[in-house]
């Protein structure tokens, strides 16, 4: 086992937590279940788009169909920046708890509407408009969900237990996507009515929103509020003075904001490339049907969940930034070689699947390192900045990848993907190096490591 100096400092004090208490475990459990349900609802349509788009959009040729798929996919993320500002304000001014309750309820309502939507054959273009609106609402609600859960767990725990604890939220979101693919698989292969899946998702999400009422406000947020109140009371100021308090007015480091945006851009690019662009390759090069693509992606999602579990486990013993650096190096090598391998060596869907599994395992993401990002932002601006940068990265990258890959590969072949993936990888490396330097300056980076039997 690898032993390392895991001393972590916050505000000059040494802070370590090796295990979770009962209240923390209960909160993480509630948040993980809620995140699973939210992402099941969100990704159900995304992963079944190859089939559902035929029901809600006008039948067309393959190229136009690809554009419809890209449009339906991107519509999910269009309102996310607005959702980030809305839920960021709520999270930073009212509390972390209320945001995850509101977003779960919104997801339930939109899922319920989708379960009853008429198809294009029944009402024409109205069906396309309605399903797009529902996707926008789902994207809006999912914005506050994942960031709210991440920050909540970050603020109620301390390293090193903090790293696998926050990872559970990310594992839950991947499990939700895997479950959505699993449902898609059964819908296709067993003539299961897809509407029942949305009905079930709506009901379960609603139950999750009630369950989350048991959550308490995070100590970081509550303590910061209390500190301001005490300062004002001792100084004899009125409540208006709170607005000018240095704790509230603490500025965000611009370089940290840029770095966070760049690292957040990486996973959506990897996600779209692995699941959707490679799905297009399966369809064009190996004549895969939509049903076969869903089954193929289901296998990848299972592998993704297992790899995240392993990373979460390792993050307790190995500093997350070290794990991220290893994955970044491996991914960079494979993605550069991918077009060459595809042109010269990939001759079957199985060989492509193996490459996808490797890319999924070593994909560019901060995963267990999210707490490291958040703690470099002021408490009263943390939710707003984290959620807005997250949302901005998603809509920016998904528009670039979903439409860009279609045209770039059309003109440059498989090497066209490098036009997008190389800048994404360089940006991720820049952001990683920024936070690595900050951690070293604060004395949090492991000073030494040793391997013992």
For 137-171, the pLDDT digits (tens) are 777 766 656 777 888 888 888 888 889 999 988 89
Phi first, then psi, for residue 184 (nearest 5°) are -60, -40
Which has the minimum average pLDDT: 81-95, 98-112, 124-138?
A: 81-95
- Higher local confidence (pLDDT), 149 or 241: 149
Give 240's contacts (C-beta < 8 A, 6+ positions apart). Answer: none
Cα–Cα distance measured from residue 195 to residue 176, given in angstroms and rounded to the nearest whole number: 17
Which has the minimum average pLDDT: 152-156, 175-179, 199-203, 313-317?
A: 199-203
pTM over 0.85: no
Residue 160 DSSP label:
B
pLDDT of residue 205: 66
Cα–Cα distance measured from residue 437 to residue 384, given in angstroms and rounded to the nearest whole number: 24
- Higher local confidence (pLDDT), 161 or 195: 161
Which has the minimum average pLDDT: 40-54, 81-95, 356-370, 422-436?
A: 81-95
From the list 297, 400, 263, the residue with the least C-alpha distance to 46 is: 297
Q: Is the pLDDT score of 177 beyond 90?
A: no
Q: Is the pLDDT score of 225 beyond 50?
A: no
pLDDT above 70 covers a percentage of the chain that reads: 74
From the list 203, 49, 73, the residue with the least C-alpha distance to 136 is: 73
Q: How confident is the model over 116-139, as pLDDT tens digits? A: 888 888 888 888 888 888 877 777
pLDDT of residue 273: 92
Cα–Cα distance measured from residue 423 to residue 198, given in angstroms and rounded to the nearest whole number: 37
pLDDT of residue 424: 96
pLDDT above 90 covers a percentage of the chain that reads: 25
Element (H, E) at 449: strand 449-451
pLDDT bin (cut points 50, 70, 90) of residue 434 is: very high
Determine contact, residues 80/135, Cβ cutoff 8 Å: no
pLDDT of residue 232: 41
Q: Is the pLDDT score of 258 beyond 90?
A: yes
pLDDT of residue 2: 44
| Chain centroid offset of residue 89 CA | 20
From the list 60, 71, 77, the residue with the least C-alpha distance to 128 is: 71
| Summary mean pLDDT of the chain | 78
Strand pairing partners for 3? 450
pLDDT of residue 90: 72
Q: Is the pLDDT score of 28 beyond 80?
A: yes
By the 10 Å C-beta count (0-12 exposed, 13-18 middle, 19+ buried), 54 is classed as middle
Q: Is the pLDDT score of 224 beyond 50?
A: no
Query: Could you give the angle at which helices 290-317 and 162-189 cross, rounded to 10 degrees?
Result: 170
Element (H, E) at 153: helix 125-156
pLDDT of residue 435: 95
């Amino acid at each position: 086992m690898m032993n390392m100096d895991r001393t972590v400092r916050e505000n000059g004090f040494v802070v370590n937590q090796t295990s979770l208490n009962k209240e923390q475990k209960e909160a993480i459990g509630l948040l993980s279940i809620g995140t699973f349900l939210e992402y099941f609802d969100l990704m159900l349509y995304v992963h079944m788009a190859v089939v559902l788009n035929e029901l809600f959009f006008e039948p067309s040729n393959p190229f136009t169909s690809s554009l419809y798929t890209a449009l339906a996919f991107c519509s999910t993320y269009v309102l996310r920046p607005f959702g980030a500002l809305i839920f960021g304000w709520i999270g930073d001014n009212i509390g972390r708890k209320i945001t995850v309750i509101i977003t779960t309820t919104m997801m339930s309502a939109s899922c319920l509407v989708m379960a009853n939507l008429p198809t294009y054959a029944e009402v024409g273009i109205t069906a396309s408009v309605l399903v797009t609106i529902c996707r926008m609402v789902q994207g809006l609600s999912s914005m506050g969900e994942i960031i709210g859960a991440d920050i909540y767990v970050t603020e109620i725990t301390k390293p090193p237990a903090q790293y696998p604890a926050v990872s559970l939220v990310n594992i839950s979101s991947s499990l939700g996507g895997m479950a959505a693919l699993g449902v898609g698989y059964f819908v296709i292969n067993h003539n299961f009515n897809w509407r029942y899946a949305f009905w079930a998702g709506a009901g379960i999400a609603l139950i999750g929103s009630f369950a989350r009422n048991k959550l308490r406000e995070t100590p970081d947020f509550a303590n910061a509020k209390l500190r301001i109140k005490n300062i004002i009371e001792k100084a004899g100021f009125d409540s208006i003075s709170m607005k000018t308090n240095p704790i509230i007015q603490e500025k965000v480091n611009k370089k940290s904001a840029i770095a966070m945006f760049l690292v957040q851009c990486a996973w959506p690019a990897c996600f779209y490339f692995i699941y959707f662009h490679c799905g297009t390759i399966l369809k064009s090069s190996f004549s895969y049907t939509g049903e076969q693509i869903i089954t193929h992606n289901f296998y990848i999602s299972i592998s993704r969940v297992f790899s995240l579990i392993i990373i979460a486990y390792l993050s307790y013993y190995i500093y997350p930034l070290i794990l991220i650096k290893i994955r970044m190096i491996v991914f960079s090598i494979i993605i550069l070689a991918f077009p060459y391998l595809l042109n010269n060596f990939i001759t079957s869907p199985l060989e492509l699947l193996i490459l996808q599994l490797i890319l999924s395992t070593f994909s560019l993401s901060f995963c267990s390192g999210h707490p490291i990002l958040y703690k470099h932002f002021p408490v009263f601006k943390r939710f707003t900045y984290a959620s807005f940068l997250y949302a901005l990265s998603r809509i920016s990258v998904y528009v670039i990848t979903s439409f860009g890959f279609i045209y770039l590969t059309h003109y440059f072949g498989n090497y066209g993907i490098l036009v997008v993936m190389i800048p994404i990888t360089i940006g991720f490396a820049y952001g990683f190096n920024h936070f690595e330097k900050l951690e070293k300056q604060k004395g949090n980076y492991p000073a030494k490591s040793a391997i013992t039997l």
